[in-house]
Structure 1
Amino acid sequence: MIIRKILNPNTILAVDEDKKEYVFFGKGIGYSRKIGQAVDDEEINRVFIPVDNRQIQEYLRLFDSIPAVYFDITQQIIKKAEKLLNTKLNTSLFFTLSDHLNFSIERHKNGLNILNRVFWEIKNYYPIEFSVGEYALKLLKKELGQILPQEEAANVAFHIINAQTIASSTSKGLEYAKLVGGISDIVKYELKMDFDREDVHYQRFITHLKFFVERYYEGKMITENDSSLFEQIAQLYPKALTVAFNVKDYIEIINDNKVTKEEVAYLTVHINRLMSNKKLNNR
């Protein structure tokens, strides 16, 4: 391997005898080096193999526009994440997260902090990844003196989730989390109520939603031949039933599968319980 370009003190672009380009990471690997020198394998901590020439050019443009400190911070974040998750993350995370952190700091300096609509879901469904996000915020404060809102921890966690090698399970979990968040938003909007997300009753409701969403996506929804339960619940909790049907409509608009009448009934019960506890707490 021969050095083609020194990107920063810890990162170099190298080329093999077949002219295939690689990005190598290693502490101090680019320090006091010159183009044309050979790469020592013992100095390499991580290798990024570009999928195609277009991709490597896109990533190289990032290096030209992002201060080196962000790459150093990102390396520390990835190291922390891989240790806590006990897995290797997709190497492209080094580039995408560095770019994200740089952009986040620029936005923050300009007073632009974007709302993360699945903050609570990521925080509770992916606690390890979220803790890495919090670690990232501490690093940014320590290295750059910038204090970002806690929501940014969820944004970093999102990148960690996407970079995990077992992509199918993590992407599925994130899809579940988004649907739970969407249902929760509809319930709050329809009831004209604002819920404390740390409240035990709200968390119980979210737990029900998590199991419901799992059943929905896995095709294991509750079904019964007897409609008496649904009819009884419809008479007892008409307001909650209306909300439940709005949730049903929402789910079926964004997905192909139908929601069974029995699931609507159980959802109605949990919505009514949430309403009742909210009213009791407000007395």
Structure 2
Amino acid sequence: MKISQILNNNVALVKRGGNEVFVVSKGIGFKKKKGQQIAEEEVEKMYILDSFDMLDHFSYLLSHSDPNDILLISNIISYGEETLGIKASDYLSLALLDHLEFLLKRVEKQQFIKSPLIWDTKRFYPDYFKVGLKALKMIEEQKGLQLPEDEAVSLCLHFVNMEESRDSKKDHVLEMRTLGDLVSIVEHHFNVTLDEESTNYMRFTTHLQYFVQRIIDGEIFNDGSETLELYKQVCQLYPDSFKAVQKMKIYVQTQFNLEISVNEETYLMLHINRVTERMEDKK
């Protein structure tokens, strides 16, 4: 690999095939010069970008980053990969490094952000939130800081967004807000707080997750005559669940300009009845 630019004592930009690649190698700024070759075995960390769009930004970021911060991010990602069973992209390393730099600047100014998504993140992405909390703890320990739990949310969302590998990436913030709103509609309608530890709750929110993904994709199940008969029966059996679904239907119409199908309404009523029936008995 041929060195295109020395960014600092430990980071260089090299040519690898047809791509510009960032490499981290201790003391490279002293050992090498522009135009010289560097072997891959000399490299501690390599960042391969598939686009030149962020080249200048990441070039500046890496050239001004503390080598200990690069190692910290590497350790955070290793923990996330092991905990979540995923393989992180190079973009995640750079995005987290960028996030860390911004976080430290906010700490200096005592600017802490109260996240509106903390409860939704805990509820719908518990494993990812665990990684966010661990990342926060690792930052606190290395930097000698005490940070609010809300900061774990944005760290967690970096992993959520990176892991999403479907052809059309979802807006996970929108997904979580929509999930939270739909659950809130049910809770307010029945005047209950759903038991997040219950099996029925897990089934309900799992159904909602796929439902919300279809909404964001603009995909709604088609109706059928067989479902229509079941729909009528369920409406009569569970009138309170029917009323709750009508409120959810208005929400989806307002927020996404979509009509919920009879299929969707039927499944939602069945799940809502199941998740609320014991809660109603306790009232």
Which TM-score bucket, shorter chain as reference? 0.7 to 0.9
SS in structure 2 of the partner of residue 168 of structure 1: coil
Which whole-Å deviations, capped at 9, do the CAs of 1:48-100 have from their partners, x for residues lacking one?
24622x52212233346655543221122233344556654321222211111
Cα 1:70–1:13 change in 2 (3 A) is same
Size of the alignment, in residue pairs? 274
The structural deviation recorded for 1:23 is 1.2
- 1:49–1:8 Cα change, 3 Å: farther
From the superposition, tell whether residues 169 and 16 of structure 1 become closer, same or farther in structure 2 (CA, over 3 Å). Answer: closer
The alpha-carbon deviation at position 258 of structure 1 amounts to 3.5
- Cα distance per residue 1:80-137 (max 9 Å; x no partner): 344556654321222211111333344466252332524035524xx3x444334312
> In 2, are the aligned partners of 1:161 and 1:170 still within 8 Å (CA)?
no
Aligned partners of 1:232 and 1:96: how far apart in 2? Answer: 51
Change (3 A) 1:221 1:136: farther
Matched, 1:249 2:250: yes
Percent identity for Structure 1 against Structure 2: 24
Q: 1:123 aligns with which of 102, 125, 140?
A: 125
> Could you report, residue by residue, the CA deviation over 1:220-261 in whole angstroms, capped at 9, with x for unpaired residues?
567444644433433443333222012123234444654222
Between the aligned partners of 1:30 and 1:86, the Cα distance in structure 2 is 33
TM-score normalised to structure 2 length: 0.74
The question of whether the paired residues in 2 share the 8 Å contact of 1:122 and 1:130 is answered with no
Task: State the TM-score, normalizing by the size of structure 1.
Answer: 0.74
Residues 196-235 of structure 1 correspond to what in structure 2 (within 5 A)? 196-210=195-209, 212-213=211-212, 220=221, 223-225=224-226, 227-235=228-236
- Structure 1 segments unaligned to the other structure (5+ residues): none
Q: Distance in 2 between matches of 1:24 and 1:259?
A: 50
Q: Deviations over 1:155-199 (max 9, x none)?
A: 3232123334x7216945957666433421332344444334334
Give the RMSD, CA atoms, in angstroms: 3.8
Q: What corresponds to 1:100 in structure 2? A: 99
CA contact (8 A) 1:233 1:265 kept: yes
TM-superposed deviation, 1:211: 5.5
Distance 2:150 2:51 in 1: 32
Give the distance between the partners of 1:281 and 1:17, measured in 2 at CA: 66
Q: Distance between the aligned counterparts of 1:211 and 1:249, measured in 2? A: 19
